[in-house]
Amino acid sequence: MFFHLILTTECNLQCRYCFGESLDDFDEDFGEIEVDYGLPKKVNYNVESLAGFCRKDPDCVLTFYGGEPLLCADKIKQVMDNVEAKLFMIQTNGLLLDKLEPKYVNRFHTILVSIDGEEALTDYYRGNGTFRKVVNNLKLIKQNGFRGELIARMTIMEQTDIYKQVRWLLDNDEFSFSSVHWQLNAGFWGNDYQRRNFEQWTKTSYIPGVKRLAAFWVDQMEEKGVVLKLYPLLGIADSLLHEEKNCFMRCGGGWINYAIQTDGYIIPCPTMWGMKKYYLGHINNADPRKIKKIFVYQPPCADCSILNVCGGRCLYANVTKRWSDEAYSKVCHTVAELLEAVKDEVPRIQRLLKNEKINIKDFDFIKYNGCEIIP
């Protein structure tokens, strides 16, 4: 099982799509879902309890998460020193990566670092100077011996040209990534759709960009024999090639990838903190292999023709319904178009597999590593 450890609810950045949106989200209306806004700001359970919890599952993978988890570097060290996890990972904004000693950083199997593309765009979303500090830290951890997977985790919305920014992340003079994932800022806030330009952006920029990216991705297979880890494309292609059926959240939220709040309660996904209705037990006494599973068997997903690939996109968005059905259908349209973009490339991929230019194993990846696959 995979668990996001929410080490703190605090963050050292004030990004537009997170802090900025939260300021505008005055009507935090979660309907019948009661939210506990009084969670401790930092972990208040005993690390020994966490160790006991993880010991029950030999495949326990822990991902440090926040807020910004590196604000609690001491807790990270304490957990890594005392808890036997199969793997450790972290999702971070990268600003404090230089504050954690290499002997810990180098033990991370995967680091997901938030970066939205080139400097101007990253700083526009995340604040001036963010890009420079993060890139310097990434260079430093590489120098200090980090050899695990480093994933550029983009949050995207109207100012992002997906094709241009992903290409830039893959190939630039500052710091090039070989793994990229992107997530749409869509369906997470209560009243942003009306004041945004989401639908037009998806039609004129995002969807055409995804199609170009899918073609570029397969061009790289053809020209260089590499399957780049562009997670949304990779995950969907992997499912199509294996004829998989994914009726569960592809992020793993609510069935294989849970989160542990600062007070030790287990929830389906980190964004669902404080939602008492979804508390699924406490690390003091729960068995990680037997936590209740939550699925979305309700409209619109229940009746959707692409549920078997999409998996329902996001449990949080489904249960909170922050966007109207009409607005959310625009998000679903992007999923359908992304699926079509990959499907269109499958014959070419199959030819390359047949000619042994690439290998089916090149599509392997660690599922539930924090890349949700469906943006």
Max Cα-Cα span within the chain: 58
Measured between alpha carbons, how far is 15 from 124 in angstroms, rounded to an integer? Answer: 9
Beta strands of 134-256 (E only): which ranges?
Answer: 149-156, 179-184, 229-230
Q: Specify the stretch interacting with ligand SF4 by CB under 6 A; choose among 12-20, 138-146, 226-234, 305-313.
A: 305-313
Q: CA Rg, the chain, in Å?
A: 20
3-state secondary structure of 181: strand
- Is 314 among the residues that bind ligand SF4 (CB under 6 A)? yes
Query: Whose Cβ is closer to ligand SF4: residue 79's or residue 315's?
Result: 315
Query: Whose Cβ is closer to ligand SF4: residue 218's or residue 310's?
Result: 310
Query: Whose Cβ is closer to ligand SF4: residue 298's or residue 359's?
Result: 298
- Which token pair is 258? 């849970």
What lies within 8 Å, CB to CB, of 74 at 6+ separation is none
Residues 174-213 that bind ligand SF4 (CB under 6 A): none
**3, 68 in Cβ contact below 8 A?**
no
Residues 2-21 that bind ligand SF4 (CB under 6 A): none
Query: Whose Cβ is closer to ligand SF4: residue 237's or residue 307's?
Result: 307
Minimum distance, C-beta of residue 300 to ligand SF4, in the bound complex (Å): 4
- Is 33 among the residues that bind ligand SF4 (CB under 6 A)? no
Minimum distance, C-beta of residue 158 to ligand SF4, in the bound complex (Å): 20
Measured between alpha carbons, how far is 123 from 115 in angstroms, rounded to an integer? Answer: 9
Query: Whose Cβ is closer to ligand SF4: residue 111's or residue 269's?
Result: 269
Residues 257-286 that bind ligand SF4 (CB under 6 A): 269, 271
What is the CA angle 257-312-92, rounded to 5? 45
Query: Whose Cβ is closer to ligand SF4: residue 135's or residue 236's?
Result: 236
End-to-end CA distance of the chain: 22
Measured between alpha carbons, how far is 25 from 309 in angstroms, rounded to an integer? Answer: 31
* Bridge partners for 113 per DSSP: 92, 152
Q: Which of 100, 210, 307, 342 is close enough to bind ligand SF4 by CB under 6 A?
A: 307
Q: Which of 66, 235, 253, 288 is close enough to bind ligand SF4 by CB under 6 A?
A: 253
Q: Specify the stretch interacting with ligand SF4 by CB under 6 A; choose among 130-138, 141-149, 166-174, 308-316.
A: 308-316
Q: Which of 231, 258, 265, 316 is close enough to bind ligand SF4 by CB under 6 A?
A: 316
**32, 272 in Cβ contact below 8 A?**
no
Contact set with ligand SF4 (CB under 6 A): 249, 251, 253, 269, 271, 300-301, 304, 306-307, 310, 312-316, 332, 335, 372
